[in-house]
């Protein structure tokens, strides 16, 4: 995870969206407020929406305009997110 700091007790992970998700797998610490910032840098494909029923977000991703979503970390487990047509997938692991 990036930008994690014990004193601020927040965590943010940057995910680049360019023909898929990089990284595809995001690990978060349970109980620490978390955000994921998606930055779509490539117009190819159908990745202009990212959504997750598990994590409760559905966000448009305008090209080169990073979008930050809040991710619940109260429950440990594996949760998926995907593009609007459920063709590209990423995973959030809370532990």
- Token match 């593009």: residue? 83
Nearer to Cu ion, 17 or 28 (CB): 17
Nearer to Cu ion, 73 or 82 (CB): 82
Q: Decide if 94 contacts 57 (C-beta within 8 A).
A: no
Nearer to Cu ion, 46 or 76 (CB): 46
Q: Decide if 36 contacts 69 (C-beta within 8 A).
A: yes
What are the residues binding Cu ion (CB under 5 A)? 46, 83, 85, 87
Smallest gap from Cβ 21 to Cu ion, in A, equals 11
Smallest gap from Cβ 19 to Cu ion, in A, equals 11
Q: How far apart are CA 29 and CA 49, in angstroms?
A: 25
Smallest gap from Cβ 41 to Cu ion, in A, equals 16
β-strands 2-5, 89-94 pairing: unpaired
């Amino acid at each position: 995870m990036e930008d994690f700091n014990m004193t601020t007790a927040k965590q943010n992970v940057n995910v680049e969206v360019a023909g898929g998700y990089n990284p595809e797998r995001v690990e978060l610490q349970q109980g620490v407020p978390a955000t994921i910032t998606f930055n779509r840098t490539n117009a190819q494909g159908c990745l202009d929406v990212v959504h997750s029923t598990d994590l409760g977000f559905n966000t448009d991703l305008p090209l080169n305009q990073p979008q930050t979503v809040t991710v619940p970390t109260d429950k440990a487990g594996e949760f998926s997110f995907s593009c609007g047509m459920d063709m590209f997938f990423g995973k959030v692991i809370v532990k």
